[in-house]
Structures are given as structure tokens and as C-alpha cells.
A and B are shown apart, each in its own frame.
Chain A
Amino acid sequence: MSDGADPHGTIRKGAIRALPFALAVALFGIVFGALVTSTGPMDPVPALLMSATTFAGSAQFAAVSILSAGGQPVTAIVAAVLLNLRYAPIGVTVAPHLSGAWWRRLLTAQLIVDESWAIAADGRGRFHVPVLVGAGLVLWASWVAGTLAGLGTGEALGNPARLGLDAAFPALFLALLLPQLRTRRGLAAALLGGVVALVLVPFTPAGVPIVAASAAAFIGLVGRGRP
């Protein structure tokens, strides 16, 4: 947690590193807002509130698509929560680096999304909380602003997939994973996690494979000379 003497400098660093993703996130926010308006499963105000509080694209898209397809609210809720279950293990990785009053930890933890968390982990086992804060704030602002813009336009501005933006997120995760593969344990955990996720995709609801992949971390217990 070498935050250095200048936390504002590292907050800015996180914000800058998040900028390319902020663009993609804003475009997906526009699509989310436009989807809500065009399919009409909820009003604009709750939709905007959802972006501000849930702040997780995949879960929000899942919930809205289920509702607009005529699904039950409880189905939408379960699907979205399953997709966000990964934030429990992700939060555990951040926990040792957060200190201070409980409400500060709670608020800082809300800035954890896949991208901000990945940007703040430097791949050598360290985690930079100010980078998380800078990246998280930029991504949150672009997600909420994108949603607002999308709600205003009312119709889809085209599919971000046409621009290849759906490949931007796995590419980010891959770039951030590579430095963690230098140790044999890191490599083994990644290979096992990837295989577990792929094997489960056809058999479990979306979200479950990612949570299950986290179980691969238990190979850290192998060969520790302890029962």
C-alpha cells in the first residue's frame, strides 16, 4: 500500500488511467439509458438511481432485460445479485488496505468496480487505494452521465458491439492479469479460474462462473506444509 506522500497525485493517476475505460463505460451507460426508455420496464428516475447506487453495468443490463422481457421482479433481482456476488471476494482483497471509520470504508468500497479494482492492483500483490478512488470516481461519473444522456435520447444510438467495445473490457483484464502470471501460483490460479468459469457458463446463471473462479485461489493453500 505504498500510497506515497501525495495521495492526491495517486488519485489523479487513477483518474487518468481510467479515462479510456470511462469513454467505453459512458457509451454503455447511454445504451443502458436508451434501453430503459425504449423498452420501458422502469421510469427514468429509478433507472438513474440504479446507475448511481448499483453502479454495475452487467447486473443492470440483466435486470432491465429480464423485466422488459416480462420476467418477474424477483428473477431480475436474483440475476443481478448473482452477477454482483463477485464483489464479495473482490471486496475481501481490498479490505486489508482500507482503514479508518466504518462509513469511510463503506463509501470507498462503493467505488469498487471491476475496472477500478483492476487498475488499482499493481500485480505485485500491492493495492493502491487512492488509485481506486480516482478511477472509481471517474468511472462512476461517466456511468451516471452516460445513463442520463441515454434516458434523454430515448432510442438506441447503435450497438457498441459494432465498435468492438465489448472486447475492451476483457482486454483490460488481460493486460492487468499478465504481470500476475510471473509466479507459478499466480499462473496456476489464473488457469484454474479461467477453466472453472468456462466449464460453468453453460450450466449456471451468468455471474456464477466468475464467483466460482475465485475458488481457484484456494490452491494458495497447496504446499504450504500445513494440513
Chain B
Amino acid sequence: MTGWLVVAAVGAATVALKASGPLLLGGRRLPAPVLAVVGLLAPALLAGLIATNTFATGQALVVDARVPGVAAAGVVAWFRAPLIVVVLVAAVVTAAARAAGMA
């Protein structure tokens, strides 16, 4: 029962959150100041995702094996390596750092 309640509530909320922008705004053109903000949402959100996915474990800020992996991935991405290479470098360096004893 509990499971169903959580699944229904979270599912409905997520569907609504994802659809709210596209349903309310549609293909309408936005005023220039709004566009100026919306255009910067991507870099701001991506940076937030990178920061939390790299340094956060729950509510703790940590420097663990993800950091060298993401840093190495950043270097190869800077030199325009394909996405698959970037991701593989991140995973391999992180796994190696963990195997070497880093958390």
C-alpha cells in the first residue's frame, strides 16, 4: 500500500513538473528579458548538477575518487574528445583511484 502511494504521488508530481513549462508556455515566444534568463538556465543548472554529483554525498561535501575522474574527463573534454571517451576516462580514473584506496 505504502509503495503504491509513494509511486503514485511521486510519479504524478514528476509528470507535472516536467510538463509544466511546455504546457503553460507552449511554443510561445518569450519576452527578451525572460529569454536572457532562460538562456542561462542551462549553464547554471549544469554547473549545479556537476557540483553536487562530484562533491556531495547526501548532505556532506566530500572529495573522493569522483574528483580525479571528473577532472580528467574535463581535460579530455577540453580537447574535444567524443562524449564516450570523456565518460570512459571519468569512470576508469575514478575506478582506479578507488582501487588505489581513495574513498
Contacts and interface: CB of A to CB of B under 8 A. Distances in A.
A41 B25 contact: no
Dominant secondary structure of chain B at its interface with chain A? helix
A175 interface: yes
Sort A-B residue pairs by CB-CB distance and give the 10 closest, nearest first.
Answer: A42-B3, A213-B48, A91-B21, A164-B94, A171-B90, A99-B27, A193-B44, A164-B95, A171-B73, A167-B69
A198 B55 contact: yes
A91 B19 CA distance: 7
B43 A209 contact: no
Given A87-B14, A201-B61, A210 B21 contact: no
Interface of A: 17, 19-21, 24, 41-43, 46-47, 49-50, 53-56, 59-60, 63, 67, 73, 76-77, 80-81, 84-100, 102, 105-106, 108-110, 112, 114, 118-119, 121, 125, 161-178, 180-181, 185-187, 189-198, 201-206, 209-221, 224, 226
Nearest to A226: B33
Most chain B beta-carbon contacts within 10 A, residue among A63, A91, A105, A170:
A170
Interface of B: 2-7, 9-11, 13-15, 17-30, 33, 36-56, 58-61, 65-66, 69-70, 73-74, 77-78, 83-84, 86-98
Contact of A108 (B22, B29, B46): B22
Given A110-B18, A161-B98, A201-B61, A191 B47 contact: yes
B84 A20 contact: yes
Contacts of B55: 198, 201
B40 A88 contact: no
Dominant secondary structure of chain A at its interface with chain B? helix
Most chain A beta-carbon contacts within 10 A, residue among B30, B43, B74, B78:
B43
A220 B39 CA distance: 8
A175 B83 CA distance: 7
19 contacts: A50-B7, A54-B14, A76-B6, A77-B6, A77-B13, A84-B14, A90-B21, A95-B24, A110-B18, A164-B93, A164-B94, A171-B90, A175-B86, A180-B46, A193-B51, A196-B48, A216-B44, A218-B40, A219-B40
Given A49-B7, A171-B91, 13 more contacts: A20-B87, A47-B7, A53-B11, A73-B5, A84-B13, A95-B25, A180-B46, A191-B47, A194-B47, A197-B51, A206-B56, A210-B45, A214-B41
A142 to B, nearest CB: 15
